[in-house]
Amino acid sequence: MTQHTHFAWALQTAARIRKMVRDDHRNILTLFRHYLSAPADSRHAIVEQILHQLAAHFQTEEELLYGDIRNRGDRQRRMVEEALLEHEEVKAMMWELQHAEADDDRALDEFFEDMMQTVQAHFVAEERDLLPAALEKATYHIPSPEGRGDL
């Protein structure tokens, strides 16, 4: 692989990951809004979808995105640590939702709105801070084929 194609490949990969993360964010927030306006009998299925998509999304990010970014410097490592704490916070909410009693609709709605706000704030910070950092990586931390180190 030439230096140019290696470089282009890394940029394309970073751009693909960015798009995937952004698309996930849009889809998950759309599901949250559906839940809040859905009739009671379809809510359970929407909750299941949200839990499933959030779990898959967090796993993808933790495997593909955060690991690369955290190795790039102190600022990036702190951003990733912050993001992981936010994942833990949302995962705790997901656990609560899975174990919630289904008989108090109002409490569940309030919990759900809180969770949506927490998730949304995380997505906004991620798109503002982490996704640009993912693309920066592709522009300079790629060893050249001649072994000269970073571009």
Of 1-9, 69-77, 113-121, 125-133, the segment contacting Fe ion by CB under 5 A is 125-133
**CB of 82 closer than 8 Å to CB of 121:** no
Task: Write out the two tokens for 28.
Answer: 């998950």
d(CA 1, CA 145): 8
Of 12-20, 72-80, 88-96, 122-130, the segment contacting Fe ion by CB under 5 A is 122-130
Nearest to Fe ion of 62, 136 (CB atom): 62
Minimum distance, C-beta of residue 22 to Fe ion, in the bound complex (Å)? 9
Phi, psi of 146 (to 5 degrees): -80, 0
Interaction between residue 138 and Fe ion (CB under 5 A): no
Burial class (CB in 10 A: 0-12, 13-18, 19+), 80: buried
Minimum distance, C-beta of residue 113 to Fe ion, in the bound complex (Å)? 19
Nearest to Fe ion of 61, 116 (CB atom): 61
Nearest to Fe ion of 43, 70 (CB atom): 70
Interaction between residue 61 and Fe ion (CB under 5 A): yes
Could you count the other beta carbons within 10 Å of the beta carbon of residue 135? 14
Which chain residues interact with Fe ion by CB under 5 A? 61, 126
